[in-house]
């Protein structure tokens, strides 16, 4: 049976219950960035593969430099450069030129930095007071010290960041199995809408929600198809919704979900045979927010007021997209914040107050009108004000962190 007037937590639980991570697909590394790993990766070889120098200087036998003080003289013998290992073994009393990252020649077990020696022709003078104690392993990165062959390097559920891609590449994985990105279609409804770039006539508004939803969905890792807008005409709306659902994992619809004579989205979805999951949430902004399954697609019918669309996406659609994409953390980070000014309550509903983070405190934006685009300007936090009269300045509240200007 369809649920109505759900608490936000209960609505989110139903959303997440309807989502499972999408199957894996193999992607070449650059294209796997931001995707979530669907396999365990092991190092295909040891890293580094041999003992290598960490300095430009001279490969030596530490035993030749074992006296405590004074100077040591060694004979210059060959070179090991990066990419050109020397096969010649270092004999007692010899030093080989070596560059950073180059393999130590056989027999060598330490490196002396270039700055700590003086070269005179084929002789090398090493001032032991300057070079310090040169023990075996000095300025050497041992074979396998970073990773031994076969050890696990990345586990399923890892959202791949640049450093992870480099690690996978270095350890022998040119492609990786990652969860498929959710395919999202965005559709805006309403006779009053005009396209971005068109000055609105009397009673018209620029359709900004589609752009906003597309950006939010992309930021959540989705592949987005924006279908633009459709008017308040039942047949056209049904066709547009059916088209939006074809091949999609998630459909994001904005507008027309309230109870007015021209709010046709819910009847259109029912006519298409959706499996309804919930119809409204005890939330401001975002009360008339419906969630249903249409074929293989999950449909979020979001209220058209810009802040309602935005908040509805953040609280419900984003976690769904993250779950589908294989992320382990599906929600925005939460943080307890202290209010820099009073935050209004929304009666029986949770009030999702848009706020800025200023000096560690939550400063509610001056407008909290759900139809006002300025109520989203430079919004860092969604402060969850519990049902009731609101909270005074100085009170603590839970907030979802959208952006942290301190670290951005
Ligand atoms: N009798 C009732 N009326 C309303 C209720 C209610 O419970 N009973 N709920 C109110 C609440 S809360 C909300 S939120 C809105 C949601 O309405 P709809 O989802 O039907 O949205 P629309 O009427 O289509 O549009 C509302 C508002 O948003 C503007 N809009 C719509 N689409 C876009 C877009 N793509 N880009 C920018 N702005 C858009 C639209 O022009 C309207 O101003 O219902 C209340 N009514
Ligand atoms: O839920 Mo509406 O989004 O309060 O304005």
| Structural domains in the chain plus CATH codes | 8-22+180-324 (3.40.980.10), 25-47+151-179 (3.90.105.10), 52-141 (2.170.190.11), 334-401 (2.40.340.10)
Q: Which one, of 328, 321, 273, 306, lies nearest residue 375 by Cα?
A: 306
Mean pLDDT across the chain, nearest whole number?
A: 96
pLDDT higher than threshold 60 for residue 408: no
Q: Which one, of 189, 269, 284, lies nearest residue 229 by Cα?
A: 189
- Cβ neighbour number for residue 392 with a 10 Å cutoff: 10
Cα(305) to centroid of ligand 2, in Å?
7
Cα(305) to centroid of ligand 1, in Å?
5
pLDDT higher than threshold 70 for residue 60: yes
Cα(259) to centroid of ligand 2, in Å?
12
**CA gap 109, 94 in Å, rounded:** 12
CA distances from 74 to 4, 58, 137 (A): 85, 10, 19
Residue in this structure with the two tokens 């200087």, named with its chain if needed: 57
Q: Which of 260, 281, 285, 367 to mutate to test the pocket of ligand 2 (most atoms within 8 A of CB)?
A: 285
Label residue 407 by pLDDT band (50, 70, 90).
Answer: low
Q: Which one, of 81, 15, 107, lies nearest residue 293 by Cα?
A: 15
Strand-pair category, 140-141 with 52-53:
antiparallel
Q: Whose CA is nearest to atom 2 of ligand 2?
A: 285
Q: What integer is the mean pLDDT of 10-21? A: 98
Cα(226) to centroid of ligand 2, in Å?
24
Q: Whose CA is nearest to atom 2 of ligand 1?
A: 259
Long-range pairs for 374-381 at CB < 8 Å and ≥24 separation? 375/306, 375/307, 376/306, 376/307, 376/310, 379/354, 379/355, 379/403, 380/355, 380/356, 380/404, 380/405, 381/335, 381/337, 381/354, 381/355, 381/356, 381/357
Cα(209) to centroid of ligand 2, in Å?
15
pLDDT digits (tens, 9 = 90+) for 141-183: 999 999 999 999 999 999 999 999 999 999 999 999 999 999 9
Q: What integer is the mean pLDDT of 368-375? A: 96
Cα(205) to centroid of ligand 2, in Å?
18
Atom number, ligand 1, closest to the C-alpha of residue 287: 12
**CA gap 398, 386 in Å, rounded:** 9
pLDDT digits (tens, 9 = 90+) for 33-55: 999 999 999 999 999 999 999 99
Pocket of ligand 1 (CB under 6 A): 188, 190, 192-193, 205, 207-210, 254-259, 263, 285, 287-288, 303-306, 308, 370-371
**CA gap 80, 212 in Å, rounded:** 57
φ, ψ of residue 244 in degrees (nearest 5): -60, -35
Q: Among 60-69, 157-166, 295-304, which is the least confidently predicted range?
A: 60-69
The ligand whose atoms approach the alpha carbon of 304 most closely is: 1
What pLDDT is stored for residue 187 in this prediction?
Answer: 98
Q: Whose CA is nearest to atom 4 of ligand 1?
A: 258
Q: Which of 281, 282, 304 to mutate to test the pocket of ligand 1 (most atoms within 8 A of CB)?
A: 304
Full 3-state SS string of 112-168: EEHHHEEEECCEEEEEHHHHCCCCCCCCEECCCCCECCCCEEECCCCECCHHHHHHH
Label residue 405 by pLDDT band (50, 70, 90).
Answer: confident
The ligand whose atoms approach the alpha carbon of 312 most closely is: 2
The ligand whose atoms approach the alpha carbon of 211 most closely is: 1
Q: Which one, of 175, 166, 155, lies nearest residue 27 by Cα?
A: 175
pLDDT higher than threshold 70 for residue 406: no
- Cβ neighbour number for residue 252 with a 10 Å cutoff: 30
Atom number, ligand 1, closest to the C-alpha of residue 210: 35
The ligand whose atoms approach the alpha carbon of 290 most closely is: 1
Q: What integer is the mean pLDDT of 374-397? A: 97
CA distances from 120 to 71, 123, 126 (A): 14, 5, 11
Cα(198) to centroid of ligand 2, in Å?
26
Cα(308) to centroid of ligand 2, in Å?
5
Cα(258) to centroid of ligand 1, in Å?
6
Pocket of ligand 2 (CB under 6 A): 284-287, 303, 305, 308, 370
**CA gap 376, 353 in Å, rounded:** 10
What pLDDT is stored for residue 236 in this prediction?
Answer: 97
pLDDT digits (tens, 9 = 90+) for 88-118: 999 999 999 999 999 999 999 999 999 999 9
Atom number, ligand 1, closest to the C-alpha of residue 305: 28
Q: Which one, of 322, 270, 271, 263, lies nearest residue 287 by Cα?
A: 263
The ligand whose atoms approach the alpha carbon of 257 most closely is: 1
- The radius of gyration of the chain from alpha carbons, rounded to an integer in Å, stands at 31
Q: Whose CA is nearest to atom 4 of ligand 2?
A: 285
The ligand whose atoms approach the alpha carbon of 255 most closely is: 1
Atom number, ligand 1, closest to the C-alpha of residue 256: 20
Structure tokens at 39: 């396999």
Element (H, E) at 23: none
What pLDDT is stored for residue 1 in this prediction?
Answer: 74
pLDDT digits (tens, 9 = 90+) for 197-233: 999 999 999 999 999 999 999 999 999 999 999 999 9
């Amino acid at each position: 049976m369809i649920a109505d007037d759900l608490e936000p937590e209960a609505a989110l639980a139903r959303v997440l219950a309807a989502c499972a991570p999408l199957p894996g697909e193999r992607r070449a590394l650059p294209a796997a960035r931001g995707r979530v790993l669907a396999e365990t990766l092991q190092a295909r070889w040891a890293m580094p593969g041999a003992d290598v120098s960490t300095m430009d200087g001279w490969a030596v036998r530490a035993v030749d430099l074992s006296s405590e003080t004074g100077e040591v003289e060694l004979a210059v013998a060959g070179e090991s450069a990066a990419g050109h290992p020397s096969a010649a073994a270092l004999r007692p009393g010899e030093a080989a030129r070596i560059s950073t990252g180059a393999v130590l020649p056989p027999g060598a077990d330490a490196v002396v930095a270039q700055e700590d020696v003086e070269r005179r022709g084929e002789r090398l003078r090493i001032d032991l007071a300057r070079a310090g104690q040169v023990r075996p392993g000095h300025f050497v990165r041992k074979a396998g010290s970073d990773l031994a062959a076969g050890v696990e390097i990345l586990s399923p559920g890892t959202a791949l960041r640049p450093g992870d891609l480099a690690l996978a590449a270095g350890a022998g994985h040119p492609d990786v199995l990652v969860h498929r990105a959710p395919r999202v279609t965005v559709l805006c409804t309403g006779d009053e809408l005009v396209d971005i770039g068109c000055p609105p006539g009397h009673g018209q508004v620029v359709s900004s929600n589609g752009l906003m939803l597309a950006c939010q969905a992309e930021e959540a890792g989705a592949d987005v198809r924006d279908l633009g807008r459709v008017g308040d005409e039942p047949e056209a709306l049904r066709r547009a919704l059916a088209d939006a659902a074809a091949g999609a994992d998630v459909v994001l619809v904005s507008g027309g979900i309230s109870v007015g004579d021209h709010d046709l989205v819910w009847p259109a979805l029912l006519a298409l045979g959706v499996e309804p999951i919930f119809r409204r949430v005890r939330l401001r902004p975002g009360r008339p927010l419906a969630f249903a399954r249409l074929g293989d697609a999950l449909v979020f019918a979001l209220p058209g007021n810009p802040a309602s669309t935005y908040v509805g996406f953040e609280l419900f659609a984003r976690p769904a997209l993250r779950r589908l994409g294989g992320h382990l953390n599906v929600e925005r980070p939460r943080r307890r914040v202290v209010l820099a000014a009073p935050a209004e309550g929304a009666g029986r509903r949770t009030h999702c107050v848009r706020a800025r983070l200023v000096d560690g405190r939550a400063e509610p934006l001056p407008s909290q009108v759900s139809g006002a685009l300025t109520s989203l300007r430079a919004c860092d936090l969604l402060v969850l004000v519990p049902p009731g009269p609101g909270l005074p300045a100085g009170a603590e509240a839970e907030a979802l962190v959208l952006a942290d200007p301190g670290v951005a």
